[in-house]
């Protein structure tokens, strides 16, 4: 079965960077795009960007495009999301998600807390 396993919670200081990993199994990694979504406390989910896992091409939301980088390692069937210059408003749960066939699969989320 399709599984997306994310890395553990992070606590970062303002100005630092964070890298969240998403390791997949149960399907051919390069067959489907990988999206990243975050959700701040009490807010709706916010789409951040996606990567074409076959080609490495990316697209980012305008809100974070200057600070985010999504990459993949096809040999590890994993995707990564880097976010730089962290601010308190980046405190959120970060999810990877993919549409495999008819279903949207989500990772369980990674809590990133930005606090001095």
Partner 1 sequence: DIQMTQSPSTLSASVGDRVTITCRVSQSINNWLAWYQQKPGKAPKYLIYRASSLESGVPSRFSGSGSGTEFTLTISSLQPDDFATYYCQQYNSYSPWTFGQGTKVEIK
Can you give the binding site for partner 1, defined by CB under 8 A? 32-33, 35, 37, 44-47, 50, 52, 59, 61, 95, 99, 102-104, 106-109
Exposed, middle or buried by CB within 10 Å (0-12, 13-18, 19+), for 34? buried
Instruction: Kindly state the smallest distance separating residue 9's Cβ from partner 1, in Å.
Output: 12
- By beta-carbon proximity to partner 1, the closer residue of 17 and 28 is 28
- By beta-carbon proximity to partner 1, the closer residue of 27 and 47 is 47
Instruction: Kindly state the smallest distance separating residue 15's Cβ from partner 1, in Å.
Output: 27
CA dist 68 → 3, 25, 33, 47, 102 (Å): 24, 25, 17, 12, 28
CA dist 39 and 56 (Å) reads: 25
Instruction: Kindly state the smallest distance separating residue 18's Cβ from partner 1, in Å.
Output: 19
- By beta-carbon proximity to partner 1, the closer residue of 87 and 108 is 108
- Taking residue 65's Cβ as centre, other Cβ atoms within 10 Å add up to 13
């Amino acid at each position: 079965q399709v599984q997306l396993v994310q890395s553990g919670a992070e606590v970062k200081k303002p100005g630092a960077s964070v890298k969240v990993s998403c390791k997949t199994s149960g399907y051919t990694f390069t067959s489907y795009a990988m999206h990243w979504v975050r959700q701040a406390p009490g807010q709706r989910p916010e789409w951040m960007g996606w990567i074409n896992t076959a080609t490495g091409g990316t697209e980012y939301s305008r809100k974070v495009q200057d600070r985010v980088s999504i990459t993949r390692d096809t040999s590890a069937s994993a995707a990564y999301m880097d976010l730089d210059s962290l601010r308190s408003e980046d405190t959120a749960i970060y999810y990877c998600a993919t549409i495999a066939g008819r279903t949207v699969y989500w990772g369980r989320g990674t809590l990133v807390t930005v606090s001095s």
